[in-house]
Amino acid sequence: MVAAPAKIKPNSSIETLYEAAFPNVARFVQKMGGNLEDAKDIFHDALVIFQERQTQPGFHLQQSPTAYLLGVAKHLWLRKHHRQRKLVPLTDAEKEISIPEDFFPSLHTQRLLQFLEKAGQKCLDLLRAFYYQKTPVKQLAQRLGYANEHSASVQKYKCLEKVRHSIQQKSLRYEDFHE
């Protein structure tokens, strides 16, 4: 069974940012001929990229978060709609924005992820908590029912090995047929 997505707390900073920044992105997408669904998809991608960038060392926001999100949204839109490039002037600050290279993974990688979500979701959740949610090991051990921090830490490496092994098997099999 797939767990329901975690709920973002009401009045959290992300909710405030959502309300402040979405109208600008919606106006841009509407102007370019898109609909509400297009605006939502692009805006969610932009928020994910913004959140990721903020955690990267050396990242300095050159503009307001709302302006940055609009800039990312423009880049994402232009990636899909190359022909409109001349219709979308970018400010100097927007020209500096880049979309992470791995943001649009290959079909093979997407399939690997789908496979892992079915076969190893527990490990994916554990590794996500370690790498991206920066959950302290002690808290993680309690949450996942491990006796102590050491057990949780060992489990992390076991998961890393398990996932690595299964994608290796899966990839080699894929390459047998496709390369």
Partner 1 sequence: MKTSMSETILIERYLWGELLPLEKQNFKAHLLQSPRLRLKVYFQKKVHLLVKLYHRKKLKAELEVLHKELFSNPEKIQFRENIHHIFDKG
Q: Copy the structure tokens of residue 118.
A: 């079915």
Q: Select 62 or 133, whichever has its Cβ closest to partner 1.
A: 133
Which of 16, 142, 148, 171: binder of partner 1 (CB under 8 A)? Answer: 171
Which of 59, 61, 87, 105: binder of partner 1 (CB under 8 A)? Answer: 105
Which of 45, 66, 144, 149: binder of partner 1 (CB under 8 A)? Answer: 45
Distance CA 122, CA 97 (A): 35
Q: How many residues bind partner 1 (CB under 8 A)?
A: 48
Which of 19, 92, 176, 179: binder of partner 1 (CB under 8 A)? Answer: 19
Q: Select 122 or 138, whichever has its Cβ closest to partner 1.
A: 122
Q: Does 47 bind partner 1 (CB under 8 A)?
A: yes
The three state secondary structure string of the chain is CCCCCCCCCCCCHHHHHHHHHHHHHHHHHHHCCCCHHHHHHHHHHHHHHHHHHHCCCCCCCCCCHHHHHHHHHHHHHHHHCHHHHHHCCCCHHHHCCCCCHHHCCCHHHHHHHHHHHHHCHHHHHHHHHHHCCCCCHHHHHHHHCCCCHHHHHHHHHHHHHHHHHHHHHHHHHHHHHHC
Which of 80, 95, 122, 128: binder of partner 1 (CB under 8 A)? Answer: 128
The footprint of partner 1 (CB under 8 A) covers: 5-8, 10, 14-15, 18-19, 22-23, 26-27, 30, 33, 35-36, 40, 44-45, 47-48, 51-52, 102-103, 105, 109-110, 112-113, 116-117, 124, 127-128, 131-132, 154, 157-158, 160-161, 163-164, 167-168, 171
